[in-house]
Structure 1
C-alpha cells in the first residue's frame, strides 16, 4: 500500500511569477486529489498571502541564509508536527534549509529547479542537487540534462516535469467580451501582437518593442497588447514612446482573464533573453489556438518547434523577431495551420493534468525508495 502523501513546500522568494504561480497551482490540484499540502515561506512574500487566501496552512520562517538554523530546525519541527513525509523545496536558500531539515528529521526531500540559468559545477551543486535531495524535479529536459551532464548528478533521481496548462480553462471557446471592452475597439481591423509575462528585464519586452518599431515601417495595421505587471512597468511606456510606437501599445497590467487576452491576440510572443524553463505561457497560448513565437532561450524549443508548432528566433534579435512577426501576420493560413498543430501537441504533451500526474509519480517514487 502506498503511504499517504503529506507535503511541506518551502519558498524563499518574496516575488510573484511563473515559479510561484506553478507552486500554488500544484498545491490546489493536489488538494483536490486528497493530498495534504502546506507551505513555509517568508511573512512578506506574495505566496504567503496567496496560500493563506486559498486556505492552506502557511508558516512564516526567516530563510535568512543557507545555514539559517532557526529555519532549518523550524522546518524539521513543522514537518514532524504535521506528519509531513516530503519536504518540497523551490529556491536556493529554502532548498538548503529544507534539505538539511529533511536529513536531520529523516524526511524525504524533493528539490525543484525552475530556472534554466547555468548551475556552476562544484561541491555546492553536488550537495544541493545530488547528495541532499532524494529527487530533483526540473521544469524541462534541458535543465535536467545540464544538471546531470555538467554537475555529475545521478540521472536516476532527476526528473523532467515541464509546466502544463489547464486545457479546460485555456480553450478556443473562451469569452473575450471583457477584453474587447478593455481594448475599446482598437483591435478592430488590426493585428494584435501580444505578450503575457511579468514585466522584468529578461522577459525581452524591450526586444519586442524594438521589433514592433521595425515592423511598423512595413506592416502598420497592428497594436501591441502587453499583459502583466512588474519592475519595468514605468520604463516600458517611455521606451515605446522613444521608439515611436507609443500610440500602438496597450498596457493591460495584471489580468486574471489571461485565456481571453490570448484568444484576442493574432500572435502571442515570448522573446525571453534567458532563464526560461519551458514556460507556462506558450502551452497556454497553444491550447487557446493562438499562433506563437518565442526565442530559443532555455527550454522553449522543447515546447515550440520552429516551423511546425510556431516560430523560434534567437534571443535578443529584434530583426529576426520582426521578420517572424511579419511572416506570421502576412500569411494567416500558414499561421493557423501551425496553431492547429500546436494545440494538438499541447493536448497530448503539455496539459496541467499530465504535469500533476508526473509530479505525483515522483512523490510516490521517493516514498517507495
Structure 2
C-alpha cells in the first residue's frame, strides 16, 4: 500500500453561519476516510468545524488565525509543516492563505488555495498578492467554473493553476422536517418564497423587493428572509420598498435555515455580482425546492435554466417578477423543477465527486 499523502488544511470561521454544516468539513472527512490521506486541520478555537471533524477522528490543532499576516501564526504553520513532513498545505480562506503562503516559503510543501467567488481581485491591488496572486501558490481550487474563468484573467503565468472542484453535499444532512411557520400566521395556501443569505447589498434583497412591488397587489405570496435582522432599520426600509410589507417576514439568524427553505415553495437568490456556488440554493434543492437565481458567478452552474429552476439577468426586477409569477401560476411545474433540482444535486454536487477531484489535484501536484 502506498504511503498516505500528508496534508495540513488551514481554515478560519470567526462568525456564525446561517447553516453550521460546512461542505469543506465533509470534504476533509471524505479524504480522511479514503485511507489515502493523513490530514490534520488547523482552525481557530471554537470553530464550528471542530465537532464535525473530531467526531470522525480527524486530528485538529488550533491557532487564533485572526490576522491577515501574523508572525505567530506563520511560525505555527511552518513548525507543523516541517515537523510532520507535510506534503500538501490546503488553505481554505484568505487569512489561512496569506499566513500559509509565507509559512511555506523554503519548504517542499505544495500549496493549494480555495476560491469561492468571482471579482474583488486586481493585479494592481497589493493585497491580492497575499492571497490569490501569491507566487507561492501551486493550485487554486475554485468552487465553480465561472470563478476559474474569472480568476484566469488575473493569474500571471500558468492559467492551469486554477481548477474547478464543486462543493460536495450529503443528502443525509437534509432529512429534518420543514420548519414550523405557524407563528407567522400565513394565509392559507400562501406561496412561500425564501431568501437565505447574510444580506450584504450584493445579495440583491433590493431587487427582490422591487420585483415584489411589480407583482399584483392581491397575489397570495409571502417572502421569508433568513439572515435579515427584523430590528434593522435598513431591513425595514427595504421591506417597505416591496409595496407589500405585510407579506415580507424578516426571520433573523436561524440555525435551521435549510429547514426554513424546505418549508417554502421556491427559493430566490437575486445576487447582483460576485457570487460563488451558493450553499443556500444547494440546501433548498436538496429538499426538492427549486430556485430562481441571477446569472452571476456560479449560479448558472447550480441551476439548469428551464429544467431545475429559472436563471434571470442580475439586477433585473422585472425578469425576476416574471419568473416568480410563472411558477406561482404553475405549481405543478414548480414541483417538477424541485424534483429535478434534487436529482441534480445528487448527481453533480455530491461529496464523492468533490473528494475525488481534490485527491486528483493532490496527486498531480506530487507526481
Assess same fold via TM > 0.5.
Answer: yes
Partner deviation per Cα, 1:258-289 (whole Å, 9 max, x = no partner): 44322221111111122211222222222321
> 1:59 — aligned with what?
62
> 1:135 — aligned with what?
139
Q: Give 3-state SS (helix, strand or coil) of 2:173's partner.
A: coil
> 1:175 — aligned with what?
177
How far apart, CA to CA, are the structure 2 residues paired with 1:231 and 1:92? 31
* TM-score (norm. length: structure 2): 0.84
Q: Give 3-state SS (helix, strand or coil) of 1:180's partner.
A: coil
Change (3 A) 1:187 1:285: farther
How far did 1:200 drift? 2.2
How far did 1:326 drift? 0.8
Q: Give 3-state SS (helix, strand or coil) of 1:131's partner.
A: coil
Farther off after superposition, 13-22 or 186-195: 13-22
Change (3 A) 1:19 1:251: closer
Is the 2:291–2:309 Cα contact (8 Å) retained in structure 1? yes
Q: Give 3-state SS (helix, strand or coil) of 2:47's partner.
A: helix
Is the 1:86–1:110 Cα contact (8 Å) retained in structure 2? yes
Change (3 A) 1:244 1:123: closer
In structure 2, runs of 5+ residues without a counterpart are none
Is the 1:61–1:74 Cα contact (8 Å) retained in structure 2? no
> 2:290 — aligned with what?
291
How far did 1:122 drift? 6.0
CA-based RMSD of the aligned residues comes to 3.1
Q: Aligned residue pairs: how many? A: 357
Change (3 A) 1:158 1:293: same
How far did 1:136 drift? 1.3
How do 1:274-353 residues align onto structure 2 when only pairs under 5 Å count? 274-353=273-352
> 1:38 — aligned with what?
41
How far apart, CA to CA, are the structure 2 residues paired with 1:307 and 1:232? 37
Aligned residue among 144, 152, 162 for 1:148: 152
Is the 1:199–1:233 Cα contact (8 Å) retained in structure 2? no
Is the 1:200–1:231 Cα contact (8 Å) retained in structure 2? no
Is the 2:212–2:243 Cα contact (8 Å) retained in structure 1? no
> 1:112 — aligned with what?
114
How far did 1:238 drift? 3.7
How far apart, CA to CA, are the structure 2 residues paired with 1:91 and 1:247? 39
- Asked if residue 265 in structure 1 is aligned to residue 254 in structure 2, the reply is no
Aligned residue among 166, 179, 184 for 1:162: 166
* TM-score (norm. length: structure 1): 0.83
Partner deviation per Cα, 1:24-54 (whole Å, 9 max, x = no partner): 443444445564331244x6xxxx4323444
Aligned residue among 48, 51, 56 for 1:50: 48
How far did 1:137 drift? 0.3
How far apart, CA to CA, are the structure 2 residues paired with 1:276 and 1:37? 29
How far apart, CA to CA, are the structure 2 residues paired with 1:53 and 1:8? 18
> 1:360 — aligned with what?
359
In structure 1, runs of 5+ residues without a counterpart are none
How far apart, CA to CA, are the structure 1 residues paired with 2:102 and 2:90? 12
Q: Give 3-state SS (helix, strand or coil) of 2:172's partner.
A: coil
